[in-house]
Amino acid sequence: MEKAVDIVEKLRGGEISAVELVEECLEKIERINPKINAFVTLNEKAVEEARNVDPNSPLAGLPIAIKDNVETKGIRTTYCSKLYENYIPEEDAVLVERLKKAGAVILGKTNMPEFGLIAYTDNPLFGPTRNPFDLSKTVGGSSGGSAAAVAAGILPVASGNDGGGSIRIPASFCGLYGLKPSFGRVPCYPSLPIFVGLHSEGFLTRYVEDNAFMLDLVKRRDIRDMNSLPDDGVSYLKAIEEQPDNVKIAFSPDLGYATVDSEVEEVVRKAAFRLEKFGEVEEVKLNAPSLENQLVTKVVLEVVTFIGERMEEWEKVAFPPYLGFMALAQSLTYREYIKIEERKMELWKALRGVFEEYDYLITPTVACKPFEIGKISPDEIDGKPITPIGWMPFTYPFNFTSQPAASIPAGFSKEGLPVGMQIVGKHYDDAGVLKISKAFQDISPWQDKYPEL
Nearest-10 crossing angle of helices 4-13, 18-36: 150
Cα distances (Å, whole numbers) of residue 52 to 18, 99, 105? 9, 15, 10
Contact between 175 and 182 under an 8 Å Cβ cutoff? The reply is no
Query: What does the CA dihedral 130, 135, 136, 139 come to, rounded to 10 degrees?
Result: -40
As a whole number of angstroms, the distance between CA 400 and CA 412 comes to 29
172 assigned to active site: no
Catalytic residue among 57, 146, 166, 191, which?
166
Catalytic residue among 3, 67, 82, 137, which?
67
Q: Beta strands 157-162 and 130-131: pairing type? A: unpaired
277 assigned to active site: no
> How many CA atoms within 13 Å lie on the side-chain side of 88?
6
Contact between 8 and 59 under an 8 Å Cβ cutoff? The reply is yes
Catalytic residue among 3, 57, 109, 142, which?
142
For residue 142, whether the previous peptide bond is cis, meaning omega lies within 30 degrees of 0, is: yes
- Residue 282's DSSP bridge partners are 250
Cα distances (Å, whole numbers) of residue 190 to 109, 180, 321? 16, 18, 27
81 assigned to active site: no
Which residue numbers are catalytic? 67, 142, 166
